[in-house]
Amino acid sequence: MPGQQTQTVSLFIQCLVDVMYPEVGVAMLKIFRKLGIPVDCPTNQTCCGQPAYNSGYRQQARTAARKFIEIFEHKEVIVCPSGSCVTTVRHHYPDLLSDEPDWHRRAETVSGKTFELTQYLVDVLGIDDLGARYSGKLTYHDSCHALRALGLQEQPRRLISNVTGAELVEMNDSDRCCGFGGSFAIKYPDISTAMAKDKVDNIIATGANAVVGVDISCLMNIQGLLNRKKSPVKILHIAELLAG
């Protein structure tokens, strides 16, 4: 797609990546630099508001949405390393602001140009090989919102399969929720843990060195349990894999 590639990508950095896993953002930056795509990053961004929205705090989520829109509405294209944050912007912002015509219109504008990283690479840019290298077996966890709200199933797998030296081994029930669910993980820890245990068992059964995902929130949950079990299996955000 000529023309598309010259668009400047504005980094929409998930808050968890910003404050806990900055290496994922750095990796995403490396990917765009490697592709020769101009990048900018509004440094006054914070959180898209998903935690408030998912907990029913719509007024507070609207505050976050308006702030996000103000920051990003004039950008050419917005790319984020998280399927669930992109779902919030793409699917929930327009609903959240549906009673305010001006904001609704602005939300629609932003929502139409916000993409998850693998979605942008594969569906928009048509790139499924980044020339990355990895040595060992990998398995892929389908994050719920990336899979069901954004339809990302083939895109990440194609990218992983083209990593030299990486062997992708499918786990059982890769499309089953890991049990994170935001505040659910804290309010209903027993149920959340039971779900996470199944996920971790399925990951370990593949014999993979690492589990790859497109959402650090799921990976954080999985890492929490893997570490508690002292399992050698690592978590790997797809940006880190593709930057390698």
The footprint of other proteins (CB under 8 A) covers 11, 13, 17-22, 24-26, 29, 41, 43-47, 49, 51-61, 63-64, 67, 144-145, 148-149, 175-177, 179-182, 184-196, 198, 220-221, 223-225, 227-228
Q: How far is the CB of 52 from other proteins (least distance, A)?
A: 5
SS (H, E, C) 145-198: HHHHHCCCCHHHHHHHHCCEEEEECCCCCCCCCCCCCCCHHHHCHHHHHHHHHH
Provide the minimum distance between the beta carbon of 97 and other proteins in the complex, in angstroms, as a whole number.
14
Q: Shortest approach of other proteins to residue 4 CB, angstroms?
A: 24
CB 105 within 8 A of CB 176: no
- Which residue number, 112 or 189, has a Cβ lying nearer to other proteins? 189
Q: What is the enclosing helix (H) or strand (E) of 202?
A: helix 189-205
Decide whether 53 or 115 has the Cβ nearer to other proteins.
53
Residue 206 identity (one-letter amino acid): T
Closer residue to other proteins in complex, CB, 139/217: 217
- In the complex, least distance from residue 134 CB atom to other proteins, rounded to whole angstroms: 21
Nearer to other proteins, 138 or 149 (CB): 149
Nearest-5° angle of CA 18, CA 77, CA 111? 85
Phi, psi of 222 (to 5 degrees): -65, -45
Nearer to other proteins, 163 or 174 (CB): 174
Token code pair at residue 197: 């245990």
* DSSP secondary structure code for residue 1 in this structure: -
Shortest Cβ 167–other proteins spacing (Å): 25
